[in-house]
Chains A and B, each alone.
Chain A
């Protein structure tokens, strides 16, 4: 683990993502209650929360699957409601569920995604190739997704989310169900992009060991943001040594509940 205690934020102006006082209701239940958070450019922000904390709802609002009724979401300054197209052009997403077409080849999947961003022809093929190289699956470009392992499919999904060179990358529990090696490789790929390309990343997870000391962390619990800031600050504030202890201290959740 990296022991530098400075958060890995580049100093460029304008955050990749701003979520401002967003609330969302499903009928009677308040799924998100006045949620505000920020993903600076070049920052790796971990969105920590248990299942049902509201992470997926928040992602659905940022990706404009449904409209945020109150509050505001901006991607590089573009409001996702008023300037949806500009906002979505800068956004890459890795969804929680599997979203590849399993009967199509890796390459066909990526070309389809290029088309969804208006990228065609030689350009699309070049990008698909480099994206697959990037996740080290270039040699399997013509194989069907069906033949891939869970971890490999996840890497293809990461490659896909990068095709249009987004400024903000959202990942909704990207490592759930993966073995340790695949998890590490997925985390590493995304972290290398943050360091190199200044990509802003919002990484939703409930696996505490994916957090590094240099990250920013947002704790979402029962639809509310309980903490938002650097990991070091998080540990300091709660007077704990590990992220999982800090999370327990903050949310008042016991070990048994956490295990469940």
Chain B
């Protein structure tokens, strides 16, 4: 390693810096709006690149809902007739009915996975790299969330593409109108996962997450059966389903897929997003947060 060439390269680093007015020994300009956007873009871009590189994750994210669609739904097709309920205008196949629920499941899995990876990241150091960025911590967390949601959008649209050939054919404009709903539900599930993973230690292994979060949320919701059917068998379960935020995420997606808005679900999803994200910011705040209470940098 020759110091001579190192110094020359140091000069060019300096020159590159001077073009925009910061370099060695120069006080950098305060971070403007454009810098904020750059940061968000960078975090999202990294998350998508990482996702595309992890082939197993890509496949399992796709195979999981397809197994439900191809096998589970086929089996239950005869048993569970679904009557005409909004937003559907005709009798629909059971596959069509559970598609929004499976989309919700994709987002739920993705949210839990990316939040858990943030907990693991803290130990491997990638999280620390993120947190020494000069942007406010709440903004970095929000960017992480948006990145997670972007990955879930990729997964959902891939799923919808395959599902199209399985007779799940929402109107063409539905693919567009579902987008805002997907973003909202993704943000809600993401911030929920972030909040939970930062306060509940036991959730650090995925089996625990499956048993205590994903399964209960998924089954006690309108993902697999219409709520009126649940009410027929158990009023209590019906009520549980109604306070389950996942139900509302699914309903929001279901209506949006047909160009309609379920206002109640929209309000519930927005409220839960705000609450969970507030909680997550609190949990990652260095002075109040749980990082401190949990001990050392390696996590004790």
* Interface residue ranges, A against B (CB under 8 Å): 26-27, 31, 56-57, 59-60, 63-67, 69, 81, 84-91, 93, 95-99, 101, 103-104, 108, 111-120, 123, 126-127, 129-131, 133-136, 162, 164-165, 167, 184-185, 188-189, 192-193, 196-199
Please, which residue of chain A has its CB at the minimum distance from the CB of B43?
A115
A/B interface sample: 30 pairs, CB < 8 A: A26-B295, A31-B296, A57-B297, A65-B132, A66-B287, A67-B292, A84-B136, A86-B134, A87-B134, A91-B132, A95-B125, A98-B125, A103-B53, A104-B50, A111-B42, A113-B129, A115-B45, A116-B129, A116-B130, A118-B35, A118-B39, A120-B41, A131-B9, A133-B9, A165-B24, A165-B28, A184-B1, A188-B1, A196-B10, A197-B14
Which residues of chain A have C-beta atoms less than 8 A from B20's C-beta? 119, 123
Residue contact A108 to B49, C-beta cutoff 8 Å: yes
Which residues of chain A have C-beta atoms less than 8 A from B35's C-beta? 117-119
Interface membership of B237, Cβ < 8 A: no
Which residues of chain B have C-beta atoms less than 8 A from A185's C-beta? 1
Residue contact B128 to A188, C-beta cutoff 8 Å: no
Report the separation of the CA atoms of residues A117 and B208 in the bound assembly, to the nearest whole angstrom: 36
Interface membership of B135, Cβ < 8 A: yes
Residue contact B50 to A85, C-beta cutoff 8 Å: no
Which interface residue of B12, B19, B36, B300 has the most chain A CB atoms within 10 A? B12
Residue contact A118 to B31, C-beta cutoff 8 Å: yes
A-B complex: 6 closest residue pairs judged by Cβ atoms = A115-B42, A118-B35, A99-B125, A67-B287, A133-B9, A134-B9
What is the predominant secondary structure among interface residues of chain B facing chain A?
helix
Report the separation of the CA atoms of residues A112 and B38 in the bound assembly, to the nearest whole angstrom: 10
Q: In chain B between 134 and 168, which residues have their CB closer than 8 angstroms to a CB of chain A? A: 134-136
Given contacts A85-B31, A103-B50, contact A66 B133 (CB under 8 A): no
Residue contact B38 to A120, C-beta cutoff 8 Å: yes
Given contacts A88-B133, A192-B3, A192-B10, contact A66 B125 (CB under 8 A): no
Report the separation of the CA atoms of residues A185 and B22 in the bound assembly, to the nearest whole angstrom: 27
Residue contact A115 to B38, C-beta cutoff 8 Å: yes
Report the separation of the CA atoms of residues A57 and B60 in the bound assembly, to the nearest whole angstrom: 39
Which interface residue of A97, A117, A196 has the most chain B CB atoms within 10 A? A117
Interface membership of B86, Cβ < 8 A: no
Residue contact B134 to A85, C-beta cutoff 8 Å: yes
* Interface residue ranges, B against A (CB under 8 Å): 1, 3, 5-7, 9-10, 12-17, 19-20, 22-26, 28, 30-32, 34-36, 38-39, 41-43, 45-46, 49-50, 53-54, 123-126, 128-136, 286-287, 289, 291-292, 295-298, 300
Which residues of chain A have C-beta atoms less than 8 A from B24's C-beta? 165, 197-199
Distance (whole angstroms) from the CB of B208 to the closest CB of chain A: 24
Residue contact A126 to B16, C-beta cutoff 8 Å: yes
Distance (whole angstroms) from the CB of A196 to the closest CB of chain B: 6
Q: Identify which of A56, A89, A98, A189 contacts B296 (C-beta below 8 A).
A: A56
Residue contact B12 to A130, C-beta cutoff 8 Å: yes
Residue contact A65 to B13, C-beta cutoff 8 Å: no
Residue contact A165 to B17, C-beta cutoff 8 Å: yes
Q: Identify which of A65, A88, A96 contacts B291 (C-beta below 8 A).
A: A65
Residue contact A112 to B16, C-beta cutoff 8 Å: no
Report the separation of the CA atoms of residues A127 and B136 in the bound assembly, to the nearest whole angstrom: 24
Residue contact B132 to A63, C-beta cutoff 8 Å: yes
Which residues of chain B have C-beta atoms less than 8 A from A198's C-beta? 24-25
Distance (whole angstroms) from the CB of A139 to the closest CB of chain B: 13
Which interface residue of B19, B132, B295 has the most chain A CB atoms within 10 A? B132
Given contacts A56-B296, A130-B13, contact A116 B39 (CB under 8 A): yes
Using A120-B38, A188-B3 as known contacts, list a sample of 14 further A-B pairs with CB atoms less than 8 Å apart, ordered by residue number in A.
A26-B296, A60-B297, A66-B289, A66-B292, A85-B135, A88-B134, A99-B125, A101-B50, A112-B45, A116-B39, A118-B38, A127-B13, A130-B12, A196-B10
Residue contact B31 to A131, C-beta cutoff 8 Å: no
